[in-house]
Amino acid sequence: MKRETCKVLVIGAGPGGYVCAIRAGQLGLDTIVIEEGRPGGTCLNVGCIPSKALIHAAEEFHVATGLSGENPFGITTSAPQIDLARTVAWKDGIVARLTGGVAGLMKKAKVRHLAGRARVVDGKTVDVDTPEGPVRVSAESIVIATGSRPTEVPALPFGGDILSSTDALDLTSVPERLAVVGGGYIGLEIGTAMAKLGARVTVVEAAGRILPQYDAELTRPVSKRLESLGVTVLTGTRAEKFADGGLHVTTGEGAEIVPADKVLVAVGRAPVTAGFDLEELGLTMTGPFLAVDAQCRTSMRGVFAIGDVTGDPMLAHRAMAQGAMVAEILAGTDLSWDKRAIPAVCFTDPEIVTVGKLPSEAEGCEVALFPFAGNGRALTLGRDDGFVRVVHDRETGLVQGIQAVGPGCSEMAGEFALALEMAATLTDIADTIHAHPTLGETVQEVAMKGLGRALHI
């Protein structure tokens, strides 16, 4: 067996793993990263990036379709068509470009990449099954960054016409009828895209409403938009099986069949902690996740964990921040996790952004809301649905949370997070000049409203 040694061994080259490896390499640490697939992990290969490419293509097609009929812009076009296979090829080209970029960045940082499946031997040793044969790697420190995978429903196993989110992003034709099991962000993002491409979509959600992690005020514009797109939403409904040309479900009124050619199962994601002998280390767990402290250390000395395997929020940018922090710690810097704000974005139509506390979570706070209908830029874009909302301390004006729902509001997530990290008050935001005309003006406007001096509402 071939043998390798290193200072830092990272298992998994997803957003957390590759960032950790690159930063460790930049800091002069001898680093090896193990990845069975292409660099970038779920997010880059079969998640965040390809799904946003599909969402963009679907929106372009939907807009073109709208312009083929009567429209307020005075534009006349013929009825558009889509070759989804070409769309998927375009999406795959973006992914290939980015994965190649990640590989290049790791090489630039002098990170060694072992392509293969890892198997943990002990807290300092990992065996790797590579195409060239087995390799044993001995490391001073190990970083577990194995990510997560789609959760499977026992009654609806993936395969054939039952799709995971990964499968749905590789469809080369638009299904005539699509049932989506799960009204969370993954199901709604893909389901909305398919509806815009012409599929008849039905969303089946067990909870009382879609996107149950958000409050009803935030999700109401999304529900309204789904209705306008012809998407049927069944809440309080459980999927039982797929047979006889449809999805069998149980509602409060009994059993029925949802006609469907394909079923997308999107009920969440589960951490990847099995399949590579990690249990040999006997690490402390918190439910299905690896327990870590404020420095991402596990219960075993010299073993760290970052990203989705460490629990919620299971977000790529959280994993990246953890990975960069761990690399600094391994290089000797005394750091610990002290983030006040981690933005979460739901790329539905309209988009949802949340940072910090929701109104229901903040005691002694007040809430101010400014609608996009009062923003000139939103009107020129032809979409004024949604709003920006700020949760602030009643006495000091300290911003505790900012949320928004509206087209394009994901691009404001950085400003929202910065406001919380910098401990901004309403006055700080209200007295900061925002460019006109932009959607970002709504952030200044909502702060002004919270101070009782709104101008445009």
Count of beta carbons in the 10 Å neighbourhood of residue 16: 34
Residue type, 261: D
User: Cα separation of 7 and 304, whole Å?
Assistant: 13
- Reduced to 3 states, what is the DSSP secondary structure of residue 140? strand
Please pick, among 62, 113, 317, 436, the residue that the annotation labels catalytic. 436
Cβ-contact 21, 106 below 8 angstroms: yes
Which has the closest alpha carbon to 174: 272, 86, 93? Answer: 86
Cβ-contact 417, 345 below 8 angstroms: no
Q: Is 436 a catalytic residue?
A: yes
User: Cα separation of 159 and 364, whole Å?
Assistant: 50
* DSSP assignments along 309-375, one per residue: GG-SS--HHHHHHHHHHHHHHHTT-------S---EEE-SSSEEEEEE--GGG-TTEEEEEEEGGG-
Which has the closest alpha carbon to 424: 370, 356, 376, 359? Answer: 356
Cα separations in angstroms, 255 against 132, 202, 237, 249, 258: 54, 16, 9, 6, 10
C-alpha 197, offset from chain centre: 22
Cβ-contact 4, 137 below 8 angstroms: yes
Cβ-contact 441, 375 below 8 angstroms: yes
Rg value, the chain, Cα: 24
- Reduced to 3 states, what is the DSSP secondary structure of residue 402? strand
Q: Is 52 exposed, middle or buried (0-12, 13-18, 19+ CB in 10 A)?
A: middle
Phi, psi for residue 65 in degrees, rounded to 5 = -65, -40
Residue type, 254: G
Which residues make Cβ contacts (< 8 Å) with residue 279, sequence separation at least 6?
Answer: 273
User: Cα separation of 22 and 457, whole Å?
Assistant: 48
Residues with active-site annotation: 436
